Copies of this chain bind each other. A is one copy, B any other.
Amino acid sequence: MAGNSFGQLFRVTTFGESHGEAIGVIIDGCPSNLEVDLEFIQSELDKRKPGQSKITTQRKESDTVKILSGIFEGKTTGTPIAMIIPNEDQRSKDYSHIKDAYRPSHADYTYDAKYGHRDHRGGGRSSARETAARVASGAIAKLLLKQAGIEIFAHVSSVGQIDSPNLDLGSLSELLEVRESNIVRCADPATANQMIELIDSIRKEGDTVGGKISCVIRNCPVGLGDPVFDKLHADLGKAMLSINAVHGFDYGSGFSGSEMRGSEHNDLFVPPGSNNENKFQTLTNFSGGIQGGISNGMDITFRVAFKPVATIMQNQDSLDSSGNAASVQGKGRHDPCVVPRAVAIVESMAALVLADHWLRNRVTRL
């Protein structure tokens, strides 16, 4: 209710501030008997953790996850899974200058106005550090989805005005290999190089830049999603929009679909016999794998747009809480572009949505 839980049946609640003792997450509703691979959880966190390359923040966090409950002898027991990630490298003094001053386009002013009392250190609860808890729980959701054969793959499809060409979505594992071979996490190597160059030059200017992440979900069974309000793409959209810095979401044909005609946009069914696996595949996929809010078995595709990081290393005029002029300049350690680290977050949130709807679909029919 207060906004820190997500999902209905596979329900996560995150907690923790950027410079507090620890951040963490409870998963309530993970089915019992799921084997949990701790190394996999850690490897997912490593993709999001700070300090992993020259184009990410230099804050050093090992982001080592500790499981407190819900797993016994390597398998889930059906009871709440609690995980914590201690904060190690807080430099709260980096933030003393913003105890009273509001950073432009940050959440300092709105948190203060809403709650009347905030932990300003490192942005407190509004810091993207919270997303590490999402990745930890998303990793367990992925393990659940793996049992159902569902695969999720995201990559950086644009940085600033540099766009990746459309990918041939042949093999997600091959794309993953390419993506992880470069520090910007774009699955097209040539574009990746341009993106890295751009981010690096912007970083040197003390500036930041936005970008987009594209995601595909493959082998999703037909039937996931609960109309009329909890349509699969509506829940995916909310999940993505809840990630720090996200300003837009579309799926399938997306925004460009609004410029099309019905006769070109409709996805005709593949005539029987033309494929061997699934007679209800479609010839095109402008629907993005979802029709009427329910998955149709085709690839689910969506895009997520991130604004540029608000903390820049340049001096900015601002106000303090009394409305007096104040000047703020980024002193902490920050990302010049958030998308390379956000790939893991996008995948995690997608996994949370899918795990939830996969369970929900179990109670649909008699």
Binding site for B on A (CB under 8 A): 1-6, 8-9, 11, 13-17, 20-24, 26, 28-29, 31-34, 66-70, 72-73, 75-82, 84, 102, 104-107, 109-111, 113-119, 124-126, 130, 144, 147, 158, 160-161, 202, 207-212, 222-223, 225-231, 233-235, 237-239, 241-242, 247-255, 257-263, 265-269, 271-272, 279-280, 282, 286-288, 291-296, 305-312, 314, 316-319, 323-325, 359-366
Contact = CB atoms under 8 A, between A and B. Distances in A.
Given A28-B1, A247-B252, A115 B160 contact: no
The complex is assembled from copies of this chain, and their number is: 4
Nearest to A361: B114
Contact of A222 (B23, B110, B251): B110
A14 B80 contact: yes
A30 to B, nearest CB: 8
A14 B111 CA distance: 27
Contact of A263 (B33, B225, B314): B314
A352 B68 CA distance: 24
Given A130-B228, A160-B261, A237-B249, 18 more contacts: A1-B226, A1-B360, A3-B228, A4-B80, A14-B80, A15-B26, A21-B68, A31-B363, A104-B267, A104-B282, A114-B223, A116-B365, A248-B249, A249-B250, A250-B305, A258-B306, A280-B323, A286-B307
